[in-house]
Structure 1
Amino acid sequence: MTDKNKIMPMHDKIVVKKKDGEDKTPGGILLPESAKDKPIQGTVIAVGSGVRDKDGKVIPLDVKIGDQIIFAKWGGTEIKFDGEEYLIIKESDVLAKLV
């Protein structure tokens, strides 16, 4: 992302740069776009401020920019921004952080 244009997700949302799916099978067969698995791993690019509890206090998210995550396969909204493709997901769609 450029310094001029940034994505700032709201509340408990996270912007993720998806890791590309595999282009070929372990045996070397090239896969058409329609046969590729949807990626479920990516890098956190931006995070929202968090959600508010019943008293109005903001609870920050557990993920931070730069974290490598595994997320729910069919979750989120795909967007295109500055020529790049991203996924906006809720923190509850994050299944794990890679450490």
Structure 2
Amino acid sequence: MTMKPLADRVVIKMVEAEETTKSGIILTGSAKEKPQVAEVVAVGPGGVVDGKEVTMELKVGDKVLISKYAGTEVKIDGVEYTILRQSDVLAIVE
């Protein structure tokens, strides 16, 4: 199944959190923070949203930084995705 987001929405897939710290300590599942870096899977066309013209600056494959609790989480074909507005993306990670 494929997803095609509408308007200024973006579909992202979270990047797995590090399992070890820089000093080599292995983290348990409960000690890991929710990842904030994600990869863009699909991008809406943009257009007029709430009376303002929105140009999409993100593209598929971009790595982005999001706030911890942004968007709506959905599970499709056993894979978890998050759908959010482009304005909820904090930065593009290069």
TM-score range normalised by the length of the shorter chain:
0.7 to 0.9
Which stretch has the larger CA shift, 60-69 or 25-34? 25-34
What CA distance in whole angstroms lies between the structure 2 residues aligned with 1:95 and 1:12? 15
Q: Does structure 2 conserve the Cα–Cα contact (< 8 Å) formed by 1:16 and 1:88?
A: yes
Q: Deviations over 1:44-75 (max 9, x none)?
A: 100112141538xx533110111111111221
What is the correspondence of 1:78-97 to structure 2 with a 5 Å cutoff? 78-97=73-92
Match of 1:8 in 2: 4
Residue 19 of structure 2: aligned partner: 23
Hey, what's the Cα distance between the residues in 2 that align with 1:29 and 1:9? 39
- Ranges in structure 2 where 5+ consecutive residues have no aligned partner: none
Quick one: percent identity of the two aligned structures? 40
Unaligned 5+ runs, structure 1 = none
SS at match of 2:30: helix
- Report deviation, 1:13: 1.1
CA distance in 2, matches of 1:32, 1:89: 28
Q: State the TM-score, normalized to the length of structure 1.
A: 0.80
Q: Report which of the two has the higher share of strand.
A: 2
SS in 2 for 1:35: coil
Q: Is 1:52 the counterpart of 2:48 in the alignment? A: yes
Give the Cα separation in 1 of the matches to 2:84 and 2:32: 21
Of the three residues 28, 34, 45, the one matched with 1:32 is 28
Q: TM-score, with normalisation over the residues of structure 2?
A: 0.83
Shift of 1:26: 2.6
